[in-house]
């Protein structure tokens, strides 16, 4: 039987188009026959595949300061982007890390003022040429952590799969420098499809790849009409997250309980319960915060739970400095935790939010400069699409629960546990502790 599972799936797609059609089909670069990979994702149709001869750099030349600057900049972007979308109704789930990653791959080909606008919008303080090796170092650190589990704990295998794919127009002349950086720092090449003659076939191929990479959780990401004969490049980034809590909830303890929405309406939810464990916890002036660790203890879910009637004020005031203060104030406490199960999906077209953050030029065919991708004057971003689904539930076993209790109370003092009953709207973040990176972020207004 499985322990408490959180599964998260996200796909982000950046669509780039040109206003002029492809006049003739030519080979973009010379590729050895042995390097061509046909049907790499087991689809019904065959696709060409080409990439730079350069291998991924597994020891990128990145200083500690550069590494930390990128992590801090990603946090700043997470909160800035969240502020742009929090006015939407209902629950939210998105990945600021995936947005930053996919747009950084796009920025490889951005030049002049378009690159500067993207740097500003993404809150990057590093020069453009330093972003890509720093992202490579960050990805390598996360990949190392996803292989780590705590041997003392029993539970399901921890999975965090990050997949990138790039789908380019067959015969389009992509710049060699663009391909080199994608290979060196993102380990990516380009699948070739024919947007000009068969845009619907290209859309279906990309959607099939998405479904495969997300264990069939996300289907039909790219809607009809989003790809047409003027599309030239699609950059897709998929994340699949599947993990067990280090301290599993007892399935037998889950019961219906009240949950109060923003307007005070009472609803009924399935409330999970975990009593007496030690967690990193802090109670502030108008909120409580707690870290729930996963089986791979480099990853945690941080819960931010404003007091009743304080959610909107807390959400609006959450800055990078405020979040840093909250996290630095966490300390180990025994906690009686009650957390509702939740399961929802979010579709986001990020265009307006990114434009509001200063990326308008990248969407404008008359101003954008993506000549680093290809020597085309009007290449521009048409859409940045993101779709995510998250499920938090439990199927715990007695052995796993008992083992977790033993570890949790090994050195716990005998004191009265703090009560945290999450019966009201709350925010959550899934964070990588070693790099202080917010991988996923969202809110639950009504489970």
Mean pLDDT within 18-36: 44
Q: pLDDT at position 111, please?
A: 94
Task: State the helix-helix crossing angle for 112-121 and 128-146, rounded to 10 degrees.
Answer: 40
Domain ranges (residues) in the chain: 5-243+344-390, 246-342+396-444
Higher pLDDT, 416 or 348: 348
Q: pLDDT at position 151, please?
A: 52
Q: pLDDT at position 69, please?
A: 96
Q: pLDDT at position 153, please?
A: 41
Mean pLDDT within 130-134: 96
Buried b (16+ CB within 10 A) or exposed e, 362-382: bbebeebbbbbbbebeebbbb
Neighbours of 233 (CB within 10 A): 25
Neighbours of 308 (CB within 10 A): 12
Higher pLDDT, 259 or 18: 259
CATH code given to domain 246-342+396-444: 2.30.39.10
Q: pLDDT at position 33, please?
A: 37
pLDDT band, very low/low/confident/very high, at 218 (cuts 50, 70, 90): confident
Dump pLDDT digits (tens) for 298-357: 889 999 999 999 999 999 999 999 999 999 999 999 999 999 998 888 888 899 999 999
Dump pLDDT digits (tens) for 63-115: 999 999 999 999 999 999 999 999 999 999 988 988 899 899 999 999 999 99
pLDDT at 169 over 70: yes
Beta bridge partners of 390: 8, 344
CA distances from 43 to 170, 316, 318, 447 (A): 17, 45, 44, 36
Dump pLDDT digits (tens) for 263-302: 999 999 999 999 999 999 999 999 999 999 887 778 899 9
> Which string of DSSP letters, residue by residue, matches 179-228?
HHHHHHHH---EEEE-TTT-HHHHHHHHHHHHHHHTTTSS---S-TTSS-
Q: pLDDT at position 254, please?
A: 93
- Computed from CA positions of residues 172, 176, 180, 182, in that sequence, does the dihedral angle turn out positive or negative? negative
pLDDT at 219 over 90: no
- Which of the 8 DSSP states describes residue 55? P
Task: State the helix-helix crossing angle for 176-186 and 128-146, rounded to 10 degrees.
Answer: 30
Q: pLDDT at position 149, please?
A: 53
C-beta of residue 142 within 8 angstroms of C-beta of residue 432: yes
C-beta of residue 288 within 8 angstroms of C-beta of residue 305: yes
pLDDT band, very low/low/confident/very high, at 415 (cuts 50, 70, 90): low
Helix H or strand E encompassing 233:
strand 231-244
Helix H or strand E encompassing 299:
strand 299-306
> Which string of DSSP letters, residue by residue, matches 385-411?
EEEEEEEEE----HHHHHHHHHHHTTT
Across 24-38, 181-195, 408-422, 429-443, least confident range: 24-38
Instruction: For strands 159-169 and 190-193, give the pairing.
Output: parallel
Q: What is the pTM of this model?
A: 0.86
Taking alpha carbons only, the member of 136, 150, 165, 145 closest to residue 239 is: 165
d(CA 283, CA 290) in angstroms, rounded, equals 9
Counting Cα atoms < 13 Å in the Cβ hemisphere of 237 gives 23
Q: 225: buried, middle or exposed (CB in 10 Å: 19+, 13-18, 0-12)?
A: exposed
pLDDT band, very low/low/confident/very high, at 7 (cuts 50, 70, 90): very low
pLDDT band, very low/low/confident/very high, at 46 (cuts 50, 70, 90): low
Percent of the chain with pLDDT over 70: 82
Task: Provide φ and ψ at 155, rounded to 5°.
Answer: 165, -175
d(CA 274, CA 365) in angstroms, rounded, equals 54
Percent of the chain with pLDDT over 90: 48
Higher pLDDT, 377 or 56: 56
- Computed from CA positions of residues 214, 218, 220, 226, in that sequence, does the dihedral angle turn out positive or negative? negative
Higher pLDDT, 30 or 386: 386
Q: Which residue has the tokens 């800035």?
A: 80
Radius of gyration in angstroms for the set of CA atoms belonging to the chain, rounded to a whole number: 23
pLDDT at 9 over 80: no
* CA 140 from centre of chain: 16
pLDDT at 359 over 90: yes
Q: pLDDT at position 294, please?
A: 84
Q: Which residues contact 310 (CB under 8 A, 6 or more apart)?
A: 286, 287
Q: pLDDT at position 248, please?
A: 84
User: Angle at Cα 393 formed by Cα 255 and Cα 80, nearest 5°?
Assistant: 115
Q: pLDDT at position 156, please?
A: 53
Q: Fold for 5-243+344-390, please state it.
A: Antithrombin; Chain I, domain 2 (3.30.497)
Taking alpha carbons only, the member of 197, 115, 53, 111 closest to residue 374 is: 111
Higher pLDDT, 397 or 142: 142
- Which of the 8 DSSP states describes residue 358? I
pLDDT at 25 over 70: no
Across 55-64, 226-235, 422-431, least confident range: 226-235
Higher pLDDT, 39 or 61: 61
Dump pLDDT digits (tens) for 388-400: 878 886 632 221 1
């Amino acid at each position: 039987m499985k322990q408490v599972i959180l599964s998260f799936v996200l796909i982000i797609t950046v669509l780039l188009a040109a206003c002029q059609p492809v006049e003739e089909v030519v080979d973009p670069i010379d590729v050895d026959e042995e390097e061509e990979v046909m049907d790499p994702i087991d689809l019904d149709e065959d696709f060409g595949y080409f990439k730079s001869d350069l291998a991924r750099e597994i020891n990128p030349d990145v200083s500690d300061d550069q590494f930390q600057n990128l992590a801090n900049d990603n946090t700043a972007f997470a909160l800035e982007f969240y502020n742009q979308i929090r006015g939407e109704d209902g629950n939210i789930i998105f990945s600021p890390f995936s947005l930053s990653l996919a747009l950084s791959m796009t920025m490889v080909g951005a030049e002049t003022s378009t690159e500067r606008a993207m740097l500003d919008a993404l809150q990057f303080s590093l020069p453009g040429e330093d972003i890509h090796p720093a992202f490579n170092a960050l990805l390598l650190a996360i990949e190392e952590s996803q292989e780590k589990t705590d041997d003392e704990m029993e539970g399901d295998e921890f999975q965090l799969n990050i997949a990138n794919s790039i789908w380019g127009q067959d015969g389009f002349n992509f710049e060699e420098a663009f391909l080199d950086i994608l290979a060196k720092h993102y380990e990516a090449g380009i699948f070739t499809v024919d947007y000009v003659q068969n845009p619907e076939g290209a859309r279906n191929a990309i959607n099939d790849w998405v479904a495969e990479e997300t264990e069939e959780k996300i289907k039909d990401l790219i809607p009809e009409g989003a790809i047409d004969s003027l599309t030239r490049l699609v950059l897709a980034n998929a994340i699949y997250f599947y993990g067990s809590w280090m301290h599993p909830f007892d399935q037998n303890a889950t019961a219906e309980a009240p949950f109060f929405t923003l307007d005070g309406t009472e609803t009924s939810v399935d409330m999970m319960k975990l009593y007496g464990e030690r967690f990193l916890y802090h109670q502030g002036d108008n909120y409580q915060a707690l870290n729930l660790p996963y089986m791979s203890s480099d990853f945690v879910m941080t819960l931010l739970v404003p007091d009743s009637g304080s959610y909107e004020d807390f959400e609006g005031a959450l800055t990078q400095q405020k979040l840093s203060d909250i996290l630095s104030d966490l300390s180990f406490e025994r906690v009686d935790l009650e957390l509702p199960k939740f399961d929802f999906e979010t579709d986001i077209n990020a265009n307006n939010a990114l434009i509001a953050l200063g990326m308008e030029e990248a969407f404008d065919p008359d101003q954008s400069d993506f000549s680093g991708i290809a020597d085309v004057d009007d290449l521009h971003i048409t859409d940045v699409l993101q779709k995510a689904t998250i499920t938090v539930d439990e199927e715990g076993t007695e052995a796993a629960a008992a083992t977790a209790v033993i570890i949790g109370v090994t050195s716990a003092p005998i004191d009265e546990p703090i009560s945290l009953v999450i019966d009201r709207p709350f925010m959550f973040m899934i964070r990588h502790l070693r790099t202080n990176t917010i991988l996923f972020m969202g809110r639950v207004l009504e489970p």
